[in-house]
Homo-oligomer: A and B are copies of this chain.
Amino acid sequence: MGKQTTEMLKGTLEGIVLAILARQPAYGYEITARLRDQGFSDIAEGTIYALLVRIEQRGLVDVEKVPSEKGPPRKVYALNATGGEYLDEFWRTWSFLAERIEQLHRDIRPTHDTHDTDEAEGA
């Protein structure tokens, strides 16, 4: 994908990750891999880690360090109550935006123009 995806992820990626954590706790590397599996083929790893730091600092998740057999310890993130509320608000915001955008998508064909801005057709 391209630049449009990058920009669109701003504001939605956070909700996506929170939604994943709502299903079950997970750590950064795992989340990145799962996103790639789901088609987000080019989400940068650094992006996810930065996002996790942010949501931790805002108190939306609880963190536990769990030793790994294959490398450095994992930081396992779990959605807490605050995070749950924040996620609910995310869904409300998303629905609001998605509805309006879908409406625009449907309205591709102009009907016949009956809005009430003045019709100054000079020059």
Contact = CB atoms under 8 A, between A and B. Distances in A.
Interface of A: 1-2, 4-12, 14-16, 19-20, 22-24, 30, 33-34, 38-40, 66-70, 89-91, 93-94, 96-98, 100-101, 104-105, 107-110, 113, 115, 117-118, 120, 122-123
Shortest 3 CB-CB contacts between residues of A and residues of B: A7-B11, A8-B11, A10-B10
Given A7-B10, A98-B98, A16 B104 contact: yes
Given A110-B24, A120-B69, A101 B4 contact: no
Contacts of A16: 100-101, 104
- Counting every copy of the chain, the complex holds 2
Contact of A19 (B6, B23, B105, B122): B105
A69 B96 CA distance: 36
A26 to B, nearest CB: 9
Contact of A24 (B93, B94, B113, B118): B113
